[in-house]
Amino acid sequence: QVQLQQWGAGLLKPSETLSLTCAVYGGSFSGSYWSWIRQPPGKGLEWIGEINHTGSTSYNPSLESRVTISLDTSKNQFSLKLTSVTAADTAVYYCARKPYCSGGKCYWFDPWGQGTQVTVSS
């Protein structure tokens, strides 16, 4: 059973780069998409983007200019970088797995990482 464990810096200043990593345990990188999702305080969920085992990525258009998702298959880890952060990027960030099915018919997130609180403040 796949489990995800994530970590990264929790306090950033405006204009800095957010960097988070998610480790995948109990499963292979192939056959899945690896995603990042965030939740601002008191608000709903926002999909940030995803990467598959070949390194192909897809990003939320609202964040695309600042986001990079990458993977390290040797460590079974994938990472999120978000540049030029502002207070609006303050949120709990989650990593999650989305299964791969032909034709893109599968697009649920399961499991999720435990979440990382990221606060942007001067």
Partner 1 sequence: SSELTQDPAVSVALGQTVRITCQGDSLRNYYANWYQQKPRQAPILVIFAKNNRPSGIPDRFSGSSSGNTASLTITGAQAEDEADYYCHSRDSSYNSHLIFGGGTKLTVL
Residue (5 or 70) nearer to partner 1, CB: 5
User: Which letter, b or e, does each residue of 12-31 get, where b requires 16 or more Cβ atoms within 10 Å of its Cβ?
Assistant: beeeeebbbbbbbeeeebee
Token reading at 12: 């950033």
The piece of 7-15, 20-28, 83-91, 98-106 that touches partner 1 (CB under 8 A) is 98-106
Q: Cα separation of 104 and 89, whole Å?
A: 29
Q: Minimal CA–CA distance to 24: which of 9, 11, 35?
A: 35
- Token pair for residue 73? 């298959």
Among 26, 84, 87, 107, binds partner 1 (CB under 8 A): 107
Told to check if 71 binds partner 1 by CB under 8 A, we report no
Q: Is 47 in the site for partner 1 (CB under 8 A)?
A: yes
Q: How far is the CB of 70 from partner 1 (least distance, A)?
A: 18
Q: Which of 19, 60, 68, 90 binds partner 1 (CB under 8 A)?
A: 60
Which listed residue (34, 80, 113, 120) binds partner 1 by CB under 8 A? 113
- Give the bridge partners for 40, in sequence order: none
Residues in the site for partner 1, rule: CB under 8 A?
35, 44-47, 58, 60-61, 94, 104-115
